[in-house]
Amino acid sequence: MAEAVRGQPSGPSVRDVGLGALSILPDHVISYVTFLLDVEDAARLACVSRVLRVFASEEPLWLGLCLKIHDGPIEYKVRPDHHTTCPWCQQQLAVTDGLC
Q: Which has more pLDDT, 46 or 98?
A: 46
Q: Whole-model pTM?
A: 0.64
- pLDDT tens, position by position, 5-35: 566 667 889 999 989 999 999 999 999 999 9
DSSP-derived secondary structure for 36-88: T--HHHHHHHHTT-HHHHHHHT-HHHHHHHHHHHSSS-------TTHHHH-HH
Structural contact between residues 76 and 63, judged by C-beta atoms closer than 8 angstroms: yes
- Tell me the pLDDT tens digit for each residue of 31-63: 999 999 988 888 888 888 889 989 988 888 888
